[in-house]
Structure 1
């Protein structure tokens, strides 16, 4: 599976979670002009804004990942990423939570989002703000982008992740709620297993077992980086 396909699938499956978490924010953004054409335009701008923010995050992650690859510690980073993802997946499976975790990150976001709404900012701008929302799936995508080893590939990875989240988020924005709570719970129950798969894949990739695509040898990894 290519990085692009993997990123798209993470975004597509994660968008069920996004509808529950980010959906209310998307629904709270009104279209300032009446009519379906304006509504579709505004929701497309909103989704485009999110993807732009993901790509900007991809630039930062790509620059960091490139330095790690040049420093020769990319294998350790891949293994560490896999371990952290497995820990996160295990906490979801056993419903282990840390009280107040991430709340300090959400406060400035909510202030910024509220400011944008109050001043009736363009839907593209509001979407860009939404793209910066602290989110476990965004962190998961960033972990994948970090292991690509180049800025261009990291941006591409984050772009395809954002594109994967778009269909359901767009439909939900138009319909003010697309999936029922029961359906979202069923999808969310599958998510930890996807995370376990990704975590194991990152660990195997870092171990360089000379297994094509799954765990390439060091020489092949360096070639990909160049």
Structure 2
């Protein structure tokens, strides 16, 4: 599987999780227009605000990945990322708690988001704030982006992840409510198993076992990919 397809479908299949976690925030941002086309524009602006923030996070994590690739640690990065994703997925399946210290970050986010709503910030700005919300699924995407090996590549990875979340989030926030709570619960139950599969894939990818698609042989790096 191409890593670009992986980025998009991680966002697409994880968007039900995003709807449960970030949906209430999106619903809390009112549109001050009456025409449906302007309401749709507002909701699109909100979603693209999230994607912009994801892309900016991708650039930052891409600089980290670039340095690691230049040090010849690309396979190590892939294996470590896979292990982190695997532990995160297993923790949800086995019901044990892992702490990544997001409480302070959530507090800062809540204050910023409340301030933006109070001062009637536009949908693009509030969407960008939403994209910075500490979120385990975004961390999952960033763990994949760091393995790409360049800021531009990591930015593209995170943008594709964000685009994957767009269809369901847009439909839900536009008011159709097509996804019921029972379906959301079932998808959320399946998400940890998806995380385990992704973790195993990253580990195999880093292992360089010369298995087509699953674990291709990695040639020695002479320059950073774009």
TM range (shorter): over 0.9
Any stretches of 5+ residues in structure 1 without a counterpart? none
Q: Deviations over 1:155-175 (max 9, x none)?
A: 111111000000010011111
Measure, in 2, the Cα distance between the counterparts of 1:101 and 1:220: 36
Measure, in 2, the Cα distance between the counterparts of 1:224 and 1:189: 38
Conserved 8 A contact 2:150-2:224: no
Q: CA RMSD in A?
A: 1.8
The corresponding residue for 2:91 is: 91
The 3 A distance-change label for structure 1 pair 100 and 204 is: closer
Structure 1 residues 153-172: aligned runs within 5 Å:
153-172=153-172
For these two proteins, the number of residue pairs brought into alignment is 226
Which runs of at least 4 in structure 1 moved beyond 3 Å after TM superposition? 98-101, 220-224
Structure 1 residues 97-176: aligned runs within 5 Å:
97-98=97-98, 102-175=102-175
Displacement after TM superposition at 1:222 (Å)? 5.7
The 3 A distance-change label for structure 1 pair 153 and 99 is: closer
Measure, in 2, the Cα distance between the counterparts of 1:125 and 1:185: 30
Measure, in 2, the Cα distance between the counterparts of 1:99 and 1:74: 26
In the superposition, the TM-score normalised over structure 2's length comes to: 0.94
The 3 A distance-change label for structure 1 pair 213 and 223 is: farther
Conserved 8 A contact 2:77-2:147: yes
Structure 1 window deviating more from structure 2 (148-157 vs 206-215): it is 206-215
Displacement after TM superposition at 1:97 (Å)? 2.4
Displacement after TM superposition at 1:94 (Å)? 1.4
The 3 A distance-change label for structure 1 pair 144 and 115 is: same
In the superposition, the TM-score normalised over structure 1's length comes to: 0.94
